[in-house]
Structure 1
Amino acid sequence: MPTLSRRPLILAACAAVVAVLLAVAAFAPLPVSIVVPGPTTDVLGTDQGAPVISVTGAPVRTTSGQLRLVTISATEPNAAVHFTDVAKAWFATDQAAMPRDAVYPSGGSVKEITQVNQKQMTDSQNAATSAALNQLHLSPSKVTVKLRLADVGGPSAGLLFTLGIIDKVAGDGHGGDLTGGRTIAGTGTIDASGTVGAVGGVPLKEQAARRDGATVFLVPRDECGDAKAQLPHGLKLIAVTDLKGALSALSSLRAGRPTPSC
């Protein structure tokens, strides 16, 4: 039967084709970015020798404790990421593979992405300032806030900037600190009305927070599922939806009362 004698050859040819395809897939670049825990910054402190938060037109108080904004670091938008990189990230606890469009939603060149990230950061800082001054019942025509932070883009620092401004100006309203002397980290966008929004990358940001000494992490309630999935030991989650809720939760934390959890 001649067809039977050809079967091994056909199978061998198919196997060879599959092997070639697998090899191509292993080395072909993928539309993916690898992200890792990034640096954190205490917004109550300094960055590159200058205060992160400067306020003029209102008294500024000396604070204790820390309010650390957290970041993730990602491969450059034009970097080649392969199947082997994704496989490594899959099994690692300190890495994640994310769609490149999710990490760099603006697309474009590196320069264009940098410009978009910088604009998002500027818009976030303006919204944070407005939310803080609204909460403090201060007029932006009399009080000026300047926020300085190098090498960080995007909108996810909004909540921490707002809390930092409030702590610098008014603290807890009774002569104490919002932090109660703790190292508190967190993430979340904010608008001028004080609404807190989701950001992404929370599990890796939690790792960065715990690495740098935080014991409390403020997280947008919409991201509680991700926040609980790989929560580092020793890090307490507080779920927030808006600025008033965040301030109330910090007040409860200082008083030893229960706080909103995920």
Structure 2
Amino acid sequence: MPNLSRRSVVLSVCAAVLAALFAVAAFAPLPISIVEPGLTANVLGADNGTQVITVTGVPVRTTTGQLRLVTIQATAPNASVHFIDVWRAWFKKSQAAMPRDSVYPSGGSVKEIEKANQQQMEQSQADATTAALKHIGLSPSQVHVTLRLADVGGPSAGLLFSLGIIDKIDGDGHGGDLTGGRTIAGTGTIDGSGKVGAVGGVPLKEQAARRDGATVFLVPKDECSDAKAELPSGLKLVPVTTLDGALSALSALRAGQPTPVC
């Protein structure tokens, strides 16, 4: 009987220790960000009363349809995220838990992260302008492009900026719109040569795109697997690797022809 009592005490102590460990784990901050669908913006229109794309030096077209860049929104870099938050996100289609370093790769303080995101956005805008003007065959000395978009940082809007600049200046090359009157959304970085790169968070961005009326979503080809996994109903997925490829896909859509598929 004494041995049994001793064993019971040991088991009780072990159970108490385990419970304490689970409690600490449940309430300890994790290096995780909770992300969800963010805002979208039509680069062919205005954002908070200011035109997103302003072009001077050459005639500008009146466009129809929409080219919507998409974003995700995340818990602040200094916010405390706990196991229970990750657990809840696991069961919500509209949320995801991602390593904080993948959402805020620059690290540092909030101000440092905001500064890095702004620098990435500015570089992305410069590359988007270079790629677009190169496609049209215009020199930066002939035309001046200004891109303004509040509350958006990082490089993931590059592809949509390039498409918007082209649509504003040249359209489809024959006086028509790139969109064919559709609401087209997309994501992807772009460099000055027109190469499209991956961005992350695609399933949530697709949700934002469909929520705001898009029927077509341009996605970096390298992210096809993620994009297909949770594709919203009514949203056509079009993979791209270059600006020229994106323009070719949009041309096929306008003509009612098959487009690339993931």
1:212 & 1:5 partners in 2: Cα distance?
A: 65
SS at match of 1:228: helix
1:4 & 1:88 partners in 2: Cα distance?
A: 41
1:114 paired with 2:114, answer yes
1:5, distance to aligned residue in structure 2 (A): 3.0
Structure 1 unmatched runs, 5+: none
For residue 176 of structure 2, what is the aligned residue in structure 1?
Answer: 176
For residue 12 of structure 1, what is the aligned residue in structure 2?
Answer: 12
SS at match of 1:177: coil
1:142, distance to aligned residue in structure 2 (A): 1.3
Please give the residue correspondences for 1:157-168 in structure 2 after superposition, counting only pairs within 5 Å: 157-168=157-168
For residue 218 of structure 2, what is the aligned residue in structure 1?
Answer: 218
The one-letter code of the counterpart of 2:245 is G
For residue 241 of structure 1, what is the aligned residue in structure 2?
Answer: 241
Please give the residue correspondences for 1:73-222 in structure 2 after superposition, counting only pairs within 5 Å: 73-222=73-222
1:173 & 1:181 partners in 2: Cα distance?
A: 15
Q: Per-residue displacement from partner, 1:81-128 (whole Å, max 9, x unpaired)?
A: 011100000000000000001100100000000000000000000000
1:88 & 1:5 partners in 2: Cα distance?
A: 40
1:248 & 1:177 partners in 2: Cα distance?
A: 13
1:165 & 1:142 partners in 2: Cα distance?
A: 14
1:259 paired with 2:252, answer no
1:175, distance to aligned residue in structure 2 (A): 1.1
1:139 & 1:5 partners in 2: Cα distance?
A: 87
1:18, distance to aligned residue in structure 2 (A): 0.5
The one-letter code of the counterpart of 1:102 is S
The one-letter code of the counterpart of 1:46 is A
Q: Per-residue displacement from partner, 1:193-236 (whole Å, max 9, x unpaired)?
A: 00000000000000000000000000000000000010000000
1:23, distance to aligned residue in structure 2 (A): 0.8
The one-letter code of the counterpart of 1:107 is G
SS at match of 1:101: helix
SS at match of 1:111: helix
1:28, distance to aligned residue in structure 2 (A): 0.9
SS at match of 1:6: helix
SS at match of 2:154: coil
1:63, distance to aligned residue in structure 2 (A): 0.2
- State the 4+ residue runs in structure 1 displaced beyond 4 angstroms: none
The one-letter code of the counterpart of 2:230 is Q
TM-score by length of 1: 0.99
1:24 & 1:142 partners in 2: Cα distance?
A: 62
1:142 & 1:173 partners in 2: Cα distance?
A: 18
For residue 23 of structure 1, what is the aligned residue in structure 2?
Answer: 23
For residue 48 of structure 1, what is the aligned residue in structure 2?
Answer: 48
The one-letter code of the counterpart of 1:184 is I
1:170 & 1:142 partners in 2: Cα distance?
A: 14
SS at match of 1:232: coil
The one-letter code of the counterpart of 1:5 is S
SS at match of 1:217: strand
Structure 2 unmatched runs, 5+: none
Aligned length, in residue pairs: 262
1:10, distance to aligned residue in structure 2 (A): 0.5
2:97 & 2:5 partners in 1: Cα distance?
A: 46
1:2, distance to aligned residue in structure 2 (A): 4.2
TM-score by length of 2: 0.99
SS at match of 2:7: helix
2:132 & 2:5 partners in 1: Cα distance?
A: 80
SS at match of 1:36: strand
SS at match of 1:98: strand
